[in-house]
Every structure is written in structure tokens, then in C-alpha cells.
Amino acid sequence: MNGKLCVGLVFGGRSGEHEVSVVSAGSVAGALDRSRYEVIPMGIDRSGRWADAGTAAAVLAAASATPNEVPEFSGATRLDPRLQDGSLDVVLPILHGPFGEDGTIQGLCEVLDLPYAGCGVAASAVTMDKVLSKRLFREAGLPTPRFETLTAAEWGRERIRCEARGLALRLPLFVKPARLGSSVGISKVNDAEEFAGAVELALGYDDLVIVEEGIPGREIEVAVLDGEPPLASLPGEVVPGHEFYDYADKYLDDACRLLAPAPLDPGQVAEVQRLALAGFAALGCEGMARVDFLLDRRDGRFLLNELNSIPGFTSISMFPRLLGLSGVGFGEVLDRLIECALARHARRQRLAAAALRPLEVRARPGAG
Ligand SMILES: Nc1ncnc2c1ncn2[C@@H]1O[C@H](COP(=O)(O)OP(=O)(O)O)[C@@H](O)[C@H]1O
Ligand SMILES: [Mg+2]
């Protein structure tokens, strides 16, 4: 169709970040170069059903025009038929949290043999999982706060021992569900007596919980955009308005401030950019990620906190702002993401073809 690339822009979804995703997709739709791309809006409602084409287009148009009033919508089908009928050249998932950022949509695209932007299945699942992420940081020798893990089963069976393990770390502690986001279910534990309640709260969201040493200091974020070579942006800073960067800070009030760029000296900028690229590589990321750090005020060290494989893309979001400051405009960010998606798909097809050849040999009558 008219030589343009058909981009399936997927938004909404089943996570608590449904609205943010719709707003992000609205601003992505506005930044995609219409001389190169045909934008195909694809909306997933809160229960996981896909909206029909007309509804998805209307929701996206409304989100672009009035980002403060995101319309509710409901889907009609288990799966958008356009995923399977050759309508799409590439999928651009702008979904946050579970069932979007966690490898599930990516797996769907793999099964359908559709190119998609951003991290692959494994890296998406790993970035969503704080325990796996931190094990891989440690394995790569990258600095991250000390931590312990607790499962629901362990907590049920040997609670005293779990408390002893968690409290062996230095207070204050952060207790978090291992695989969520938006600060949901996270508590800061200032006192040993608060520990059990914090674990119970986190266990309400996931049966794996991570307990981390709290780091006093600043929160620094770097955008990484893949390419040859990947690019690390100038760092930004989140200044929480609450005791930590909690759910209310992120979505409910305007108490927190975003500084872009972060006030850091050139040596610190170079160091945090180096660690951002190392974190991106350690988790096997592709396409993009926002890499979040804690800057320890006691010794000036940057510690990796987490990577977000589909960061916010609203007009005030850090990811596009930081890349903009680093000289990569919003449209160019999207061009690069789509290029990476197509290049990976082509590479994977070649590798898949190579992987099939030995099987053909083995299947020959008389062999093996
Ligand atoms: N180890 C820590 N030390 C200090 N603050 C922390 C620590 N872990 C989390 N926080 C605070 O909690 C917020 C949310 O934690 P985070 O791990 O980023 O979860 P989410 O995936 O929900 O964003 C952080 O932005 C920060 O304010
Ligand atoms: Mg975070």
C-alpha cells in the first residue's frame, strides 16, 4: 500500500498502567513520520480484548488530542485479526507492565512471525523481573543494592527464618513484588516491626518478593537507544515528592520533579552512561530501555535499580526528553526502533533457516 510501512501501534492492555500506555501511544502516533509510515492503531482493553479498528483509531485520536482525558473502551475479540492477515509490516508495542512489557506480546509476535520493536521475549521478561535482573547485574559485576528473595511458600513455612534473612540487610529496606511496576505493592521498611506487613503486602501481588537495602541518595535515569553502536542519553533525575517515588508520585499528584538533564559533573555523566550501556547488555536488551539508577550519597557510587523495556512516551516522559537533549528527536527515535525491529527479524529468519538445515540431514532415510 503506497510504499509506506504499516506500523501496528499497540496500546492499552491489562496492566495498571493502561492509561499511561494510551497517552504514550497518542504521543507516539503524533511523532511517527506519516510520509514513511501508515499507522494502524490497535487497542487492548483492560480485560485483554482487542478493540475493532474504528474504536482503536478513535481512542488513539482522542489520546493525541486531549491526553488528560483518555477515553475508556472495550474490545470485541481475543486477538486483532490484523495480526494475522498481512496488514502489518511491524508491531510497535507501547504497553507497560504485565502482558505487554514482560515478553508476552513479544512472544505473540514471535509466534506470528511479525517484526516488533523493543526487547525480545527473554529480555522483556527479565527486565520485568527484579530478581532475575539483579542476579544478572551481579553476574556481570555491575553494582546494585544488596538483596534477598522470599517466596510465598518459604514465608508460609519458615517465617522466622525469612525475617532473619531479610533483616540481616541494613535498614531501611525496600520490599517489593518481584514482577510488577508503578511502585505498586512496594514498601519502605524503616523499622524491623514493619517488615512482616511489608512482605504480606508484596505477597498480595506476586508470590516472589525481593527485599533490598535502601540506598540514601538520588534517582538518576538514562535512556538507551539501540543501534550500531547503542546510544546512552544524557542522564535525567527524578526528585520524588514523597518519601520515595511511589504510586501517588508517579500518577496521582504533581509533587515529584523531573530534571533533564540531571545536575551531574562530566565524570559522573560518563560513568552513569557506561553503566547504562553495560546494564542494557547484561540483560540482553534490544531496541530501547530506560535504565534507572540510585546514586548513593554516602560514597557517590551509581547502583543499578532496574531497566524498563517500554518506558513512558508521553510528552513529559523522561525517555523521549533525554534522547531529545542528546540530539535524537522523537521521530528519529521511532525510526531507529523500527529499523532495529526489521533488522532483527531479518537476522532471525536467516538464523532460523540455518538451524533447520542439520535437521534435514538427520531426517534423511538411513541416517542416525
Ligand atoms: N534499594 C532502594 N533504595 C532506595 N530507594 C529505593 C530502592 N528501591 C526502590 N526505591 C524507591 O522506590 C521506587 C520504586 O522502586 P522500583 O524498584 O523502581 O519499582 P518500580 O518497578 O515499581 O518502579 C524507586 O523509584 C525509589 O524511589
Ligand atoms: Mg522504578
Query: What's the rounded Cα separation, in Å, for the pair 248 and 8?
Result: 32
Q: What is the pLDDT of residue 16?
A: 87
Judgement on whether residues 180 and 229 belong to the same structural domain of the protein: no
For each of the chain's 368 residues, which pLDDT tens digit applies? 589 999 999 999 999 889 999 999 999 999 999 999 999 999 999 999 999 999 999 999 999 999 888 899 999 999 999 999 999 999 999 999 889 899 999 999 999 999 999 999 999 999 999 999 999 999 999 999 999 999 999 999 999 999 999 999 999 999 999 998 788 899 999 999 999 999 999 999 999 999 999 999 999 999 999 999 999 999 999 998 888 888 877 777 777 889 999 999 999 999 999 999 999 999 999 999 999 999 999 999 999 999 999 999 988 899 999 999 999 999 999 999 999 999 999 999 999 888 887 766 666 666 55
Judgement on whether residues 111 and 30 belong to the same structural domain of the protein: yes
Ligand 1: does its nearest atom lie under 6 Å from the Cβ of 174? yes
Judgement on whether residues 204 and 220 belong to the same structural domain of the protein: no
Beta bridge partners, 291, equal 222, 307
Q: What is the pLDDT of residue 254?
A: 73
Would you say the pTM of this structure is higher than 0.75?
A: yes
Is residue 363 included in any domain, yes or no? no
Judgement on whether residues 10 and 84 belong to the same structural domain of the protein: yes
Phi and psi based region of residue 118 (left: phi greater than 0; alpha: psi -120 to 50; beta: remaining): left
Judgement on whether residues 203 and 232 belong to the same structural domain of the protein: no
Residues 297 and 123 sit within 8 Å (Cβ to Cβ)? no
Is residue 96 included in any domain, yes or no? yes
213, three cell numbers: 537495602
Judgement on whether residues 189 and 233 belong to the same structural domain of the protein: no
Output the domain CATH number for residue 281: 3.30.470.20
Q: Give the residue from 187, 213, 239 where a domain finishes.
A: 213
- DSSP, collapsed to helix, strand or coil, labels residue 9 as strand
**Domain boundaries, position 266:** 215-309
Is residue 235 included in any domain, yes or no? yes
117, three cell numbers: 520493536
Q: What is the pLDDT of residue 309?
A: 97
Question: Helices in the chain by DSSP H: which ranges?
Answer: 18-31, 53-65, 104-111, 121-128, 130-139, 152-157, 159-167, 195-203, 247, 266-282, 318-325, 330-362
- DSSP, collapsed to helix, strand or coil, labels residue 300 as coil
CA of 50 to the centre of ligand 1 (A): 32
Judgement on whether residues 9 and 94 belong to the same structural domain of the protein: yes
Judgement on whether residues 197 and 222 belong to the same structural domain of the protein: no
Q: Please say if 312 is a catalytic residue.
A: yes
Judgement on whether residues 202 and 226 belong to the same structural domain of the protein: no
Q: Going by CA atoms, what residue is nearest to atom 14 of ligand 1?
A: 183
CA angle 341, 120, 314 (to 5 degrees): 70
Is residue 53 included in any domain, yes or no? yes
Q: Domain tally for the chain? A: 3
Is residue 46 included in any domain, yes or no? yes
Q: What is the pLDDT of residue 248?
A: 79
Q: Going by CA atoms, what residue is nearest to atom 8 of ligand 1?
A: 174
Q: What is the pLDDT of residue 361?
A: 62
Judgement on whether residues 97 and 9 belong to the same structural domain of the protein: yes
Judgement on whether residues 251 and 167 belong to the same structural domain of the protein: no
Q: Give the residue from 255, 284, 309 where a domain finishes.
A: 309
Q: Going by CA atoms, what residue is nearest to atom 25 of ligand 1?
A: 245
Is residue 350 included in any domain, yes or no? no
Ligand 1: does its nearest atom lie under 6 Å from the Cβ of 187? no
The residue assigned the cell 485520536 is 61
Query: What's the rounded Cα separation, in Å, for the pair 137 and 126?
Result: 11
Ligand 1: does its nearest atom lie under 6 Å from the Cβ of 247? no
Judgement on whether residues 164 and 75 belong to the same structural domain of the protein: no
Is residue 207 included in any domain, yes or no? yes
Query: What's the rounded Cα separation, in Å, for the pair 7 and 358?
Result: 35
Output the domain CATH number for residue 51: 3.40.50.20
The answer for residues whose C-beta is within 8 angstroms of residue 98's C-beta and 6 or more apart is: 14, 15, 104, 128, 179, 180, 181
The residue assigned the cell 488530542 is 65
Q: Give the residue from 309, 326, 358 where a domain finishes.
A: 309
Is residue 367 included in any domain, yes or no? no
Output the domain CATH number for residue 152: 3.30.1490.20
Instruction: Tell me the CA distances in angstroms from 65 to 25, 30, 143, 355, one per residue in order.
Output: 12, 9, 42, 47
Q: What is the DSSP letter of 193?
A: G
